[in-house]
A and B are shown apart, each in its own frame.
Chain A
Amino acid sequence: MTAAILVSIFMTLAAAATPILLAALGELVTEKAGVLNLGVEGMMLCGAVAGFAVAYSTGSVALGLIAATLAGVAAAMIFALLTLGLGSNQVATGLALTIFGIGASSLIGAGFVGRTITRLGPLFPADYAAHPWLRLVFGHDAIVYLSLALVLAVSLFLRRTRAGLILRAVGENADSAHAIGYRVLAIRTAATAFGGALAGLGGAYFSLALTPMWADRLTAGRGWIALALVVFAAWKPGRLLIGAYLFGAVATFELQAKAAGWSFIAPEVLAMTPYLATIVVLTMMSLGRRTGGRDAPACLGKPFPAS
């Protein structure tokens, strides 16, 4: 493999990792506040279709990204209204949100099938963005840099700020947080909205950057991978970053190995690699946890007030 191919592989894997990283980061914050929203796939699809519809209609990818973020928030607010407002079951509601998102995005997107837009391009000028190896650093689009900045911001927010501490307290022990005067439901709603915003943005990365078009179920199950990634990362933003890029690397390697004709590995085995890697890491983490420590927020998925 030449250096040029390695650079190209890295560009592909960064692009593959970014939407999963965004969606997973949003879900991580939601779950840190004690809310389990399984509707990530649905929210991503809402973001993907809204982003494409607005970008196509206005000709502005930036407006599309804003619309996608708002659409993700809107979908998350349906979830918040049902689970936090009316106390419905979070798992069932989350699954329903995914099914709703598939249907709603298909309905809204029906008029946009077969259209395309100019994709979101690199952030930096072509001198850097198209340079043979400088593009490793400068060749990405704005969302890739934004996702990395958000990982840092979320990490600092959760660990170093008072607001982050309160959010974690709500997720770890909602009753205690309530007893000392914090508005548990309001904080959980805000965390859910943040999760929806990033899921919407992650979804729009498909329809505006990766594959600039709308087609039904465009995200093809990436929302579920984002959910798994949160567990994989043990609810830590830094590990989430590693996990997302690892997933991107394994998925890209699978395709590169096939293209290079490494016929000593059966294609079926290569297709399994991302999932095998996930199982192996999950198993290793589970073994590590036996020696102490707990990763999941203690109140994850539990309604408040307890019924």
Chain B
Amino acid sequence: MSTIITRRTLLAGAAATSVLPLTGAQAQAPFGVGFIYVGPVGDHGWSWTHDQGRKALEKEYGNKIKTSFIENVAEGPDAVRAIRQLAQAGDQLIFTTSFGFMNPTIQVAKQFPKIKFEHATGYQRAENVATYNARFYEGRAVIGTLAGHMSKAGQAGYIASFPIPEVVMGINAFHLAAKKVNPNFKTKVIWASTWYDPAKEADAAKALIDQGCDVISQHTDSPAALQAAEQRGVYAFGQASDMKAFAPKAQLSAIVDDWSGYYIKRVKEAMDGSWKSGDVWGGIKDGMVKLAPYNDAVSPAARAAADEVQKGIIAGTLHPFTGELKDQKGTLRLKAGETASDEMLSKMDWYVDGVQA
């Protein structure tokens, strides 16, 4: 069972439900699980992957749960209203799936102490607010390895959204992995200043290809850059989901977000009462970050190297950020053999040498 609420029907819905008394947990009533998405579920990117997680929940628990979601929720006051709407509608576990929902989540959580909240990619927690995120930089290290092997020009283009730590650490992880393969590797970054504008993302890819990049990576949401790469005959990587359908020749692999395992686990805990607040940062090992099957074009050497990186990350013997590491300005960030702490990663605002950003 699922209910779809859009922002446009939200006001009417809020008016209707606010007059209902909170009935609390009733015997055999399905367990309510709510989701707040920042984009449309049809973006085939970030919000879409969270919605895939929601669908996995429905498949796993069937009639035992009732899921609902609100899409296209703006980060800010709108979010408070949207989250409260789900809380008042009787959801007992609510996932808010964008960084900008952090303060609204905390605010609403205070008003509904019995309801449990899960905020993706944030760092503020409370008794009833947990946080979770995925170590996408691990995936970036794998595709960076592929890029290092597959780029003849020794130069990759990177379409980035905004210079926040999440994006910066992705660029660095990608570049460090490629540089390990090819010490002269260059990564050229274009800031698109948007998460989602297909035509602009495609034009950015074309500009990078014009400037001699023969591998394109991206941290924006649409498959448009892959299509441009396919058209121009260069390689690229999918973002958030397997985008092979859009670029069968160009896509070497893709970083795939898989939230279903985490959602299934947390809903089970919430239902049996063992749910506790905390912070989960899952990676390849946890199945939260996956790599799409490699393209046939990937050379045996590249394949082996990328698999090696994946194995090393899973075994814990390889950290994508291992010293000695200097930033662009020559400042020593990590001493030889030292690995980056989670705190360092979550505050990263510097670029490694060889990145043109």
Binding site for B on A (CB under 8 A): 5, 8-9, 12, 16, 99, 103, 106, 109-110, 113-116, 119, 206, 210-222, 251-252, 255-256, 258-261, 263, 267-268, 271
Q: How far is the CB of A207 from chain B (nearest CB, A)?
A: 9
Decide if A259 touches B44 in the complex (CB within 8 Å): no
Question: Are B8 and A113 neighbours in the complex by a CB distance under 8 Å?
Answer: no
Q: Kindly state whether residue B338 has any CB partner on chain A within 8 Å.
A: no
Q: Are B199 and A213 in contact (CB under 8 A)?
A: no
A-side contacts of B48, CB under 8 Å: 113
Residue in A99, A116, A119, A220 whose beta carbon sits within 8 Å of that of B197 in the complex? A220
The contact string, 1 if C-beta is below 8 Å from chain A, for chain B 191-212, is 1011011111011101110110
B16-49 with Cβ < 8 A to chain A: 39-40, 42-44, 48
A110 to B194 CA separation, bound complex (whole angstroms)? 23
Q: How far is the CB of A20 from chain B (nearest CB, A)?
A: 10
Asked whether B44 lies within 8 Å of A113 as measured between CB atoms, the reply is yes
Q: Do B8 and A211 touch (CB < 8 A)?
A: no
Known: A215-B44, A261-B356. A255 touches B202 (CB 8 A): no
Q: Which residues of B contact A109 (CB under 8 A)?
A: 42
Contact among B43, B196, B202, B207 with A258 in the assembled complex (CB-CB below 8 Å): B207
Chain A, Cβ-Cβ closest to B48:
A113
Instruction: Give A259 to B203 CA distance when docked, in angstroms.
Output: 11
B246 at the interface (CB under 8 A from A): yes
Other 9 A-B pairs with CB < 8 A, given A215-B42, A261-B356: A12-B207, A116-B246, A119-B227, A211-B222, A217-B40, A218-B198, A219-B199, A220-B198, A220-B200
Do the beta carbons of B190 and A211 come within 8 Å of each other?
A: no
Question: What are 11 A-B pairs at a CB distance below 8 A?
Answer: A103-B8, A106-B40, A116-B227, A215-B43, A220-B198, A221-B197, A252-B207, A256-B210, A258-B191, A259-B204, A268-B193
CB-defined interface of B339-357 with A at 8 Å, one 1/0 digit per residue?
Answer: 0000000000000000010
Interfacial chain A residues near B224, Cβ < 8 Å? 210-211, 213
CB distance from A48 to the nearest CB of B (A): 10
Q: Which 8 pairs of residues, A with B, have the shortest CB-CB distance? A: A216-B40, A255-B207, A216-B42, A267-B191, A271-B193, A220-B197, A259-B207, A211-B224
- B193 touching A267 by the CB < 8 A rule? yes
B277 at the interface (CB under 8 A from A): no
Task: Name which residue of chain A comes closest to B193, CB basis.
Answer: A271
Interface centre among A116, A252, A255, A256 (most CB of B within 10 A): A255
Nearest CB of A to B353, in Å: 14
- CB <8 Å contact, A114 and B245: yes
- How many whole Å from B84's CB to the nearest CB in chain A? 23
Query: What is the bound-complex CA distance between A263 and B188, given in angstroms?
Result: 11
Partner of B188, one of A103, A110, A215, A259: A259
- Say yes or no for B151: interface residue by CB 8 A criterion: no
Instruction: Decide if A252 touches B203 in the complex (CB within 8 Å).
Output: yes
Q: Which residue of A lies closest to B213 (CB)?
A: A259
Given A99-B8, A271-B191, also A8-B210 (CB < 8 A): yes
Q: Which of A215, A252, A256, A268 contacts B222 (CB under 8 A)?
A: A215
Candidates B39, B42, B207, B231; contact of A110 at CB < 8 Å: B42
CB distance from B329 to the nearest CB of A (A): 13
Give a binary string over B43-59; 1 marks a CB under 8 Å from any A CB, 0 the rest.
11000100000000000
CA separation between A12 and B188, bound complex, in Å?
A: 19
Asked whether A213 and B246 contact (CB < 8 A) given A106-B40, A251-B200, the answer is: yes
In the complex with contacts A211-B224, A213-B246, A16-B6 CB distance below 8 A: no
A218 CA to B3 CA in the complex, in Å? 25
Closest-CB distance, A146 to chain B (whole angstroms):
19
* Given A114-B44, A216-B43, A220-B198, A255 and B157 contact (CB-CB distance below 8 Å): no
Which of A12, A113, A215 has the most chain B CB atoms inside 10 A of its CB? A215
Q: Closest CB-CB distance, B307 to chain A, in whole Å?
A: 27
Closest partner residue, chain A, to B225 (CB atom): A211
B158 → A minimal CB distance (Å): 10
Q: Is B223 an interface residue (CB 8 A)?
A: yes
- Min C-beta distance of A277 to chain B, whole Å: 16
Residues of chain A contacted by B200 (CB below 8 angstroms): 220, 251, 255
A202 to B231, CA, bound (A): 21
Residues in chain A near residue B44, CB distance under 8 A:
113-114, 215
Q: What chain B residues lie within 8 Å of A216 (beta carbons)?
A: 39-40, 42-43
Per the bound structure, the CA–CA distance linking A256 and B39 in Å amounts to 28
Asked if residues B199 and A222 are in contact (CB atoms below 8 Å), the reply is yes
Give CA–CA (A149, B284) in the complex, Å.
54
Instruction: Name the A residues within 8 Å of B211 (CB-CB).
Output: 5, 256, 259-260
Chain B contacts for A251, CB-based, 8 A: 200, 203
* Nearest CB on A from B213, distance (A): 8
Bound complex: CA A103 to CA B40 (Å): 11
Cβ–Cβ < 8 Å partners of A103 in chain B: 6, 8
| Complexed CA–CA distance, A84 and B235 (Å) | 52
CB distance from B223 to the nearest CB of A (A): 6
Closest residue of chain B to A212 (Cβ to Cβ) is B227
- Nearest CB on B from A249, distance (A): 12
Q: How far is the CB of B254 from chain A (nearest CB, A)?
A: 13
With A222-B199, A271-B193 given, is the CB distance from A119 to B356 under 8 Å? no
